[in-house]
């Protein structure tokens, strides 16, 4: 017989014990206590505690917490609109390779000590530090979602620095080396190298450029889309909006690059797209990459990646006196952290700054300071 309550219900089972149940705050199927009770009073007391937790916002969905990490992670990869194709592929790969020991573990059983043990074992294994860092970041994101959805009380990912990897300083090509690369690469891709080095575009942004994105009157290039090629299905490439509004940007082309852009438009551009393959189809990122690899080998720059061209251009821009805001605009960054790394180019120029300070002391006029020196607080 059911006992009516303001919250939940208690009923006596044929065994003589009592069962407590309630409907979760978000609705759905009625949930029962994980065990039965010897007395009706005990069952009512349990429901009172559950009701108090719900009113305080500390109630955890025990049924949801029984879901495995692997199942919950796959659901997030499927449903999250913020996860791009390439990052989804990376996370799925890491689920198979690095996070496999946690896939069958229930969310409620993923404690801080268990995460620590998994991370230590992963570092002792054969996996690369970058992949392990990516795996940890994904694990942390999944568990953050579980916290927000009231499935667990606290994120068990508490290892300082586990989600970051200190990479070696990327090489910066000199202007002469950029010229050498341009001369060595297939003429069809020379403008792509120049745009990467002097305008700071990513490879996907270059592949996504349209002829209409180039304004030779104003000497600008406008980034509206980026080309995405799934790792496991490159033939299913598509154009997408940049990750943030800052990614949609108009960049002034340095004057020395304009003639080659004009030549490219006349000789190699497609009817619609700025960069196309020989058969007129949209340029594939791997095609550009392979052409670049052959060129860098020819000029002895084997350690330079295509993305390093972007790093090169922005480092040189910082050396000309570009501010943090200037770099953020050209790079398409919405946060200062990513753009700030390029200002390292002016670090170490203490002698020039000291000389400039002496000039300021002598003339008493800040306007007479050399403009190419960037001051940072």
pLDDT tens for 263-273 read 999 999 999 99
Rounded distance between C-alpha atoms, residue 217 and residue 199, angstroms: 17
Task: Over range 42-46, report the average pLDDT.
Answer: 92
pLDDT of residue 348: 47
CA dihedral 355, 357, 358, 359 (to 10 degrees): 90
Of residues 325 and 192, more confidence is placed in 192
pLDDT in tens, 123-144: 998 888 889 999 999 999 999 9
Is the per-residue pLDDT at 251 higher than 80? yes
Of 109 and 374, the one with more pLDDT: 109
Structure-model confidence comparison of residues 332 and 373, the more confident one? 332
Selected residue with higher pLDDT from 29 and 46: 46
Average pLDDT, the chain: 83
The pLDDT of residue 36 = 94
Range in 5-9, 15-19, 278-282, 335-339 the model is least confident about: 335-339
Q: Is the pLDDT of residue 362 over 90?
A: no
- How confident is the model at residue 340, as a pLDDT? 65
- The answer to whether residue 307 scores a pLDDT higher than 50 is yes
The tokens describing 23, both together, are 């409907």
Q: How confident is the model at residue 286 (pLDDT cuts 50, 70, 90)?
A: confident
Task: Report pLDDT for 350.
Answer: 47
Q: In what order do the strands lie in the sheet with 214-215?
A: 214-215, 220-223, 249-252
Please give the residue that has the higher pLDDT: either 367 or 192: 192
Nearest Cα residue to 173 out of 289, 314, 288: 314
What would the two tokens of residue 332 be? 């398409």
- How far is CA 226 from each of CA 56, 243, 260, rounded to the nearest angstrom? 46, 9, 22
Q: Which residues are catalytic?
A: 202, 307, 310, 333, 342
Quick one: pLDDT band at residue 1, thresholds 50, 70, 90? Answer: very low
With 60 as the cut, is the pLDDT of residue 82 above it?
Answer: yes
CA distance 292 to 184: 9
pTM equals 0.61
Cα–Cα distance between 239 and 80 in angstroms, integer?
A: 19
Give the other-Cβ count within 10 Å of 7's Cβ: 14
pLDDT at 361: 60
User: Is the pLDDT assigned to residue 233 strictly greater than 80?
Assistant: no
Model confidence at 354, pLDDT cuts 50, 70, 90, reads low
């Amino acid at each position: 017989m059911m006992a009516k309550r303001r919250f939940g219900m208690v009923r006596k089972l044929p065994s003589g014990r009592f069962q407590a149940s309630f409907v979760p705050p978000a609705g759905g199927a009625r949930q029962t206590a994980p065990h039965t009770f010897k007395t009706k009073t005990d069952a009512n007391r349990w429901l009172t505690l559950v009701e108090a937790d719900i009113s305080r916002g500390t109630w955890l969905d025990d049924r949801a917490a029984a879901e495995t990490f692997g199942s919950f992670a796959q659901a997030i990869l499927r449903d999250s609109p913020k996860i791009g194709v390439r990052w989804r592929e990376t996370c799925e790969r890491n689920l198979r390779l690095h996070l496999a020991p946690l896939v069958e573990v229930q969310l409620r059983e993923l404690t801080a000590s268990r995460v620590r043990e998994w991370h230590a074992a992963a570092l002792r294994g054969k996996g690369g530090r970058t992949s392990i860092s990516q795996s940890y970041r994904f694990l942390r994101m999944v568990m953050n979602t579980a916290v927000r959805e009231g499935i667990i009380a606290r994120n068990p990912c508490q290892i300082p620095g586990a989600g970051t990897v200190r990479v070696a300083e990327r090489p910066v090509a000199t202007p002469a080396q950029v010229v050498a690369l341009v001369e060595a690469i297939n003429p069809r891709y020379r403008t792509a190298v120049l745009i990467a080095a002097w305008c700071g575009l990513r490879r996907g942004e270059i592949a996504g450029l349209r002829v209409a994105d180039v304004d030779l009157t104003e000497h600008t290039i406008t980034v509206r889309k980026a080309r995405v090629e799934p790792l496991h299905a490159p033939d299913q490439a598509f154009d997408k909006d940049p990750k943030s509004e800052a990614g949609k940007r108009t960049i002034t082309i340095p004057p020395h690059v304009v003639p080659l852009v004009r030549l490219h438009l006349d000789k190699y551009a497609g009817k619609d797209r700025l960069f196309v393959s020989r058969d007129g189809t949209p340029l594939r990122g791997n095609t550009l990459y392979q052409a670049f690899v052959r060129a860098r080998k020819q000029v002895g720059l084997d350690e330079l990646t295509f993305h390093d061209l972007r790093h090169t251009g922005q480092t040189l821009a910082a050396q000309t006196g570009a501010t943090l805001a200037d770099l953020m605009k050209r790079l398409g960054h919405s946060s200062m952290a990513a753009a700030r790394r390029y200002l390292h180019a002016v670090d170490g120029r203490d002698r020039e700054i000291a000389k400039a300070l002496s000039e300021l002391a002598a003339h008493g006029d800040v306007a007479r300071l050399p403009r190419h020196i960037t001051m940072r607080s």
